[in-house]
């Protein structure tokens, strides 16, 4: 059966965590479409809700968290927010390949990587286990590892960077056509990072995948993503084609993120750290704009009205100051 790159429509997604102060949103009213066959990058500082959103794509948010509102429609699966039990288990792995942020530590310490690969294959009804092993070795080889040796290894025998590549292999090996990679390269040095992302891009193109890459480093996705979505305080503040977002960022947060990365600015002397810190669940403003505390363009309206995403062709920006300027 020929599988095709699925489209994904996230609509009005809100995910909350139960805290001593009640249920607080980590992702709030996020609407985002992943077009079939594209790579979308989600960027934002730590704590902005990226991993929580990634987990929602698999309906894998665990207590004390829960999806409080919205839907995640995936072609061929329907709204995953409604999937339960066995249906959900089958969807993960075979339809949706994923590397969770904790992938480095998610291998079973007692079993070799090869044994875990076979378990994964069996649990998804793969008949040709030899083929699966061949495929795994190939993927590991492409990422610069000795496949046979890695499959014979236990987790503790692998470096952080090697484990991360094993995680990517496991996300790709079942041939899922939707792939979610959450901080897939953070344990790697810059050059290895670039190489691995190049391979992700190649495999994406060869197989016709829909891919979501999540990172706190906008420089990491600059070269691989077709589209970028920028998150802050659980809100999606800007999205659009990568070259537009990087070339002409509109939201002051996106501008700040880009200014902080020397290799995007082009000159290390010009890079400027974004002042202040991102909010936590407890400190995210309950009304008004989530970014206003750090915003150079803050206006009175920002204190009381949460800006809606304003679409302009392929771009969308949620900022009062930017909208005012456009309409002036
Ligand atoms: N299990 C949890 N319980 C309570 N709060 C959580 C839990 N997981 C994440 N959070 C909070 O939700 C917010 C978003 O976290 P996360 O989705 O991990 O962001 P990111 O991946 O962008 O760093 C953070 O403020 C984080 O502290
Ligand atoms: Mg994360």
Tens digit of each residue's pLDDT (9 = 90 or more) over 264-298: 767 777 788 888 999 999 999 999 999 999 999 99
Residue pair 243/199 in contact by the 8 Å Cβ criterion: no
- What is the residue with the minimal CA distance to atom 14 of ligand 1? 49
What is the mean predicted confidence (pLDDT) over 89-112?
82
Whether residue 324 has pLDDT greater than 70: no
Q: Tell me, using a 6 A CB cutoff, whether residue 51 lines ligand 1.
A: yes
H or E stretch covering 89: helix 85-90
Q: How far is the CA of 54 from the centre of ligand 2 (A)?
A: 9
Write out the DSSP string of 137-189. HHHHHHTTS-HHHHHT--GGGS-HHHHHHHHHHHHHTT--SEEEEESTTTTS-
Question: Which of 15-19, 224-228, 258-262, 274-278 shows the lowest mean pLDDT across its residues?
Answer: 258-262
CA of 49 to the centre of ligand 2 (A): 7
**Alpha carbon distance 49, 51 (integer Å):** 6
Nearest to 68 by CA among 111, 139, 12: 12
Q: Is 233 near ligand 1, meaning CB less than 6 Å away?
A: no
pTM of the model: 0.94
Which atom of ligand 1 is found nearest the CA of 45?
A: 22
Residue range 89-101: mean pLDDT, rounded: 86
Average of per-residue pLDDT values in the chain: 92
CA–centroid distance, 210 to ligand 1, in Å, is 25
What is the model's pLDDT at position 236? 97
* Contact 102 CB / ligand 1 (< 6 Å): no
48 pocket-lining for ligand 1 (C-beta < 6 Å):
yes
H/E segment holding residue 96: strand 96-99
Which residue ranges form the domains of the chain, and what is each CATH number?
Answer: 8-327 (3.40.50.300)
Contact 225, 217 (CB under 8 A): no
The pLDDT assigned to 102 comes to 64
Q: What is the position in ligand 1's atom list of the atom closest to the CA of 62?
A: 1
Q: Is the pLDDT of residue 186 over 90?
A: no
pLDDT at 2 (0 to 100): 43
Check residue 93 and give its pLDDT. 82
Task: Please give the Cα distance from 136 to 142 (Å, whole number).
Answer: 10
In this structure, the strands spanning 22-34 and 310-312 are: unpaired
Distance CA 123, CA 125 (A): 6
């Amino acid at each position: 059966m020929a599988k095709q790159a699925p489209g994904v429509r996230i609509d009005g997604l809100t995910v909350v965590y139960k805290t001593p102060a009640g249920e607080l949103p980590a992702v709030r009213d996020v609407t985002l479409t992943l077009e079939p066959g594209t790579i979308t990058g989600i960027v934002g500082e730590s704590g902005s809700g990226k991993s929580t959103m990634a987990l929602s794509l698999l309906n894998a948010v665990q207590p004390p968290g829960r999806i409080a509102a919205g839907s995640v429609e995936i072609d061929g699966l329907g709204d995953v927010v409604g999937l339960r039990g066995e249906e959900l288990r089958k969807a993960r792995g075979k339809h949706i390949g994923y590397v969770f942020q904790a992938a480095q530590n998610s291998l079973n310490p007692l079993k070799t990587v090869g044994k875990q690969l076979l378990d994964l294959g069996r649990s998804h009804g793969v008949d040709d286990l030899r083929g699966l092993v061949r495929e795994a070795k190939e993927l590991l080889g492409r990422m610069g590892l000795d496949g046979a040796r890695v499959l014979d290894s236990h987790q503790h025998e692998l470096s952080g960077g090697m484990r991360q590549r094993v995680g990517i292999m496991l996300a790709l090996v079942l041939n899922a056509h939707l792939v979610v990679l959450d901080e897939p390269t953070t344990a790697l040095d810059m050059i290895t990072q670039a190489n691995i992302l190049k391979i992700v891009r190649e495999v994406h193109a060869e197989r016709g995948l829909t891919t979501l890459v999540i990172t706190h480093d906008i420089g990491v996705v600059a070269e691989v993503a077709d589209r970028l979505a920028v998150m802050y305080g659980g809100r999606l503040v800007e999205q659009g084609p990568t070259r537009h977002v990087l070339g002409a960022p509109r939201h002051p947060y996106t501008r700040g993120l880009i200014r902080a990365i020397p290799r995007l600015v082009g000159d290390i002397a010009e890079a400027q750290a974004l002042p202040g810190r991102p909010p936590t669940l407890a400190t995210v403003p309950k009304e008004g704009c989530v970014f206003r505390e750090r915003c150079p363009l803050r206006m009175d309206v920002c204190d009381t009205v949460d800006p809606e995403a304003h679409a302009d062709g392929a771009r969308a920006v949620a900022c009062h100051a930017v909208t005012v300027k456009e309409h002036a």
